[in-house]
Amino acid sequence: MIDYWQEILAFGILSGAVYFLVRKFIAKPLASSSKSGCADDDCGCH
């Protein structure tokens, strides 16, 4: 019975870690790279 809960907990932690890594390194860089270049206004890119 304890092994069952241990597997569920381990899978949940692993899923959370993978989700965090995907959001940090894959989802956010793709979203920020899709923006157009700097215009004449101060966009904070320099």
Largest CA distance in the chain: 64
Is the torsion defined by CA of 25, 31, 34, 36 positive or negative? negative
User: What's the pTM?
Assistant: 0.57
Estimate to the nearest angstrom the gap between the alpha carbon of 30 and the chain centroid. Answer: 11
Q: Each residue of 8-46: pLDDT tens digit?
A: 999 999 999 999 999 998 887 776 665 555 556 666 665
Place of tokens 């157009």: 36
Q: Residue 39: its pLDDT value, please? A: 58
Q: How many CB atoms sit inside 10 A of residue 46's CB?
A: 5
